[in-house]
Amino acid sequence: MSTVKNLRMDKAKKHIEDLAAANKTLSFAATANLEVAIKQTKKKVEMIAKECRATNRKFRDREFDLYVDVYDCLYFENAEKFETSGIKRVSQIFEKPQFFIDGSEYNDINQGAIGDCWFVAALAVITNIPSLLETLCVARDEEVGVYGFIFFKDGDWVSTVVDDQLFVNGVDEKKRPKLAFAKCPNENETWVPLIEKAYAKVHRDYEHIVGGFTGQGIEDLTGGVYTLTYTADILDTERFWNEELIHVNKNTLFACYRWDDSTDAKGLIDSHAYSIIRVEECEGIKLLNIRNPWGETEWNGPWSDGSKEWTPERMKFLDHKFGDDGSFWMSYEDFLKQWTIVDKCKLFDASWQVYSTWIHYNVVPKSNGKFILTIPEDSFTIIVLQQPDERFFSSSSKYSYQLSFRIYEQGCETYKFRSRCAVRMAPRSVNLEVKLPAGTYEIVPSIKRKNVEDEKTEGENQEEKEKKRNKEVIESIKKKKERRIKNLSTGIDENDESDIEEEKSDEKKKNEVWELSIGLRIYSQNRNFTLVGEEGEYPKKEEEVKKEEDPEANTEATEEATKKEKEGEGEEKKNEII
């Protein structure tokens, strides 16, 4: 990784580390900071549009210029990975371009030749909440070619702008350039490729948005709270339907994945994200409407298009039409058999308050950091423990971390509640929904770490050799990215000369180098909480560090889990969602 790119990521991480160092707690209504980000974005777009009209030039985003910095915008480590044949402006691709045509809906979205089905599925899911997507696409001037968007990253809203240059690959039957990545089925609608581009810019390049979980994409688009559930872990399936799935598109959004080659897929794609669009009960039968982000290739089991289950009355009741558009229905019984994972993202409105703070933390040697929460009255809370998103920061740490936490009443040695461990494949946060009686509580992190270097093989294949040969070229192209991520963290307009400051080197080494920063977010409709982060003293280095054991854990179960974890390590790469 280039020195410049490291500087850029370090600068972004400093935003969180500064909060940890200051032990500062932020408290705001769930939508209050959103309004600030919207105002900033509108101001950026307005200023850029004014400048462009004064000079009679379209907007060219120098921080994410596809034409000038093609490899920089496409790749982080790999080169020549995506199939593209050139870069064109919107006006060169579309005959009569229009950002939204009759609003936005899930059928507007088709995945392109990049493995971001998880993000495309997230876009499809949020279109089910009226005007939600339009809120994220804050401002635009289509004539000038400037578009402003906001995304929720690590507990805060970030703002970015992009121009209208897009990657293309070949031409269509009308000899017009074809989009290489995500697109709308309507040949003149432009919002899908542009929001995908903005999301890629926030994460430095298109390669950084390959592979992920739809729930995390929804969280980045809404500021909600994401939870991953294995269908095999659902204790009472009727309760899951009545208490969770039934709320789809109200205050909760859902997606699903299948990782099971042992059963007949009946047209479903393994290691692929799907959107849950609707749930209904028809003649006593529980049904789910699901969509493939490809916009084609559907389930062909019971309740699929043309199956014997359909009658004219049922088609009218469910407002369904046959056709290979990626949207299909299936029974809840088949859903539980076929899908491995359900992603859930809970949404919040202005009636909710969010409390957030960060601290420094060490796993080995272990520090005694914790969070102190005081609640004046009984309150329903959603508690989220998080670490900086690696997709956003691309941590150079040799360790990966698995988060969990316990809640103690102050003065008690036995915990009152505890979270589950974060899933290794989606490690950035873990949460717990719980009703807490009035009182003061200590929320104590419990974090495990794993050396990622252990997963690397000693052999070097041809692809890795090619990467090394291209290293100098790739690193030189990446320089502008360092400033881009810095600007997202500081609110600087990357296209305003007056806002860009020179980096000043600081060679002073700190005696205390903390292993990582962790943050806590608490959502509640109670507005009188007190939340304080206490990281404690920097731990002294020990000669030997004994492995921490869970006193509540069953030894036999722990050994069995360890065995399964080792067996599953080889499957993790397979399980990446593309």
pLDDT band at 13; cut points 50, 70, 90: low
| Selection from 42, 51, 9 nearest residue 497 by Cα | 51
The single-letter DSSP state of residue 321 is: -
Cα-Cα-Cα-Cα torsion 480, 484, 487, 492, nearest 10 degrees, comes to 70
Number of H helices, E strands in the chain: 16, 22
Pairing of strands 252-257, 353-361: unpaired
pLDDT at residue number 426:
67
Catalogue all structural domains in the chain, each as residue range(s) with its CATH number.
1-29+351-458+469-494+515-539 (2.60.120.380), 32-214 (no CATH), 225-345 (3.90.70.10)
Q: Model confidence at 60, in pLDDT bands (50, 70, 90)?
A: very high
Calculate mean pLDDT across residues 221-237. 91
Q: Which stretches does DSSP call E strand in 304-428?
A: 327-331, 341-346, 353-361, 370-375, 379-386, 399-409, 417-418
Determine if the peptide bond prior to 551 is cis (ω within 30°): no
Per-residue confidence (pLDDT) for residue 573, from 0 to 100: 42
How many whole angstroms separate alpha carbon 517 and alpha carbon 10?
Answer: 13
pLDDT digits (tens, 9 = 90+) for 518-559: 999 999 988 888 999 998 888 876 544 444 445 444 545 445
pLDDT tens for each residue of 285-302: 999 999 998 888 999 999
Residue range 166-176: mean pLDDT, rounded: 91
State the Cα–Cα distance between residues 321 and 430, nearest whole angstrom: 39
Query: Which single residue is written with the structure tokens 């990049």?
Result: 114
Q: Report the C-alpha gap between 104 and 126 in whole angstroms.
A: 10
Which residues have CB under 8 Å from 227's CB, separation 6+?
215, 343, 344, 345, 346, 431
Is residue 379 pLDDT above 50, yes or no?
Answer: yes
> pLDDT tens across 491-519, in order?
555 555 444 444 444 444 445 688 889 99
State the catalytic residues: 117, 272, 292
pLDDT higher than threshold 80 for residue 577: no
Residue 333 has pLDDT above 80, yes or no: yes
Mean pLDDT of 194-214: 92
pLDDT tens-digit readout, 135-165: 889 999 999 999 999 998 887 888 999 999 9
Residues 422-444: what's their mean pLDDT? Answer: 87
- The answer to whether residue 450 scores a pLDDT higher than 80 is yes
Three state DSSP letters for 438-488: CEEEEEEEEEEEEEHHHHCCCCCCHHHHHHHHCHHHHHHHCHHHHHHHHHH
Question: What pTM value is reported for the model?
Answer: 0.77
Residue 18 in this model has a pLDDT that exceeds 60? no
Q: Stretch 49-54: mean pLDDT, rounded?
A: 97
Considering only CA atoms, which of 312, 133, 351, 317 is closest in space to residue 221?
133
